[in-house]
Amino acid sequence: MPDSVESRFLSELPVERLIACHECDLLMRKPQIENGERVECPRCGYELYTHRHQVTRRSLALVLAALLLYVPANFLPIMQLNLLGQTSEDTLWSSVLGLYDSGMQGVAAVVFLCSMAIPLLKLLCQLAVLLSIRLDFGRSYGLLLYRIYHHLREWGMLEVYLMGILVAIVKLVDLADISLGLGLFCFIALLLVQVWLEVTMSPHQIWEALAGEDVHAGD
């Protein structure tokens, strides 16, 4: 249909039945799709979203796994350093305390927020959002927490801290005897689980479930 007729047709539809492309801003009618299908923009080919099966159950399992990994990842030794007969064990928490005690309180605060506090707050927000969908209770609070979670996403920087750990290991390996600790493997597992969670927890379906539109998101 001509652009003017199509624009008039779209303007008459309710907002919840419309979707806009994030790349080219094309406004179109939201299609009805089944599990496993995905929606692409007809103009630029950008993938708008994919309708995944059992989003809430799978995401909830991943959130619980991440929370179980959080404590050992932050408080178990990441590495054991043996230099000139002296042995020290470093954890993520001890690194924050070390920065603070050495006079770099600002850096310590940034490391604590980005590597410990905000990742935990993100997981708790995700847990509350998923429980509100799963239990069908307090979805208005779930909407608020999901908005907060999206604002926090850019501040959780576990991957940056992991790169710092790997760089430190490479630089110290020729100077001292280094033994990798269980905390490092838990930290890597936590990072991988969070990446998996980001892929599984489809924002499109979560928003719809919180609004009461997607009845299959909690299956």
pLDDT digits (tens, 9 = 90+) for 89-128: 778 888 888 878 888 888 888 888 888 888 899 999 999 9
Q: Return the half-sphere exposure (C-beta side, CA atoms, 13 A cut-off) of residue 105.
A: 1
Residue 124 has a pLDDT of: 94
Whole-structure pTM value: 0.75
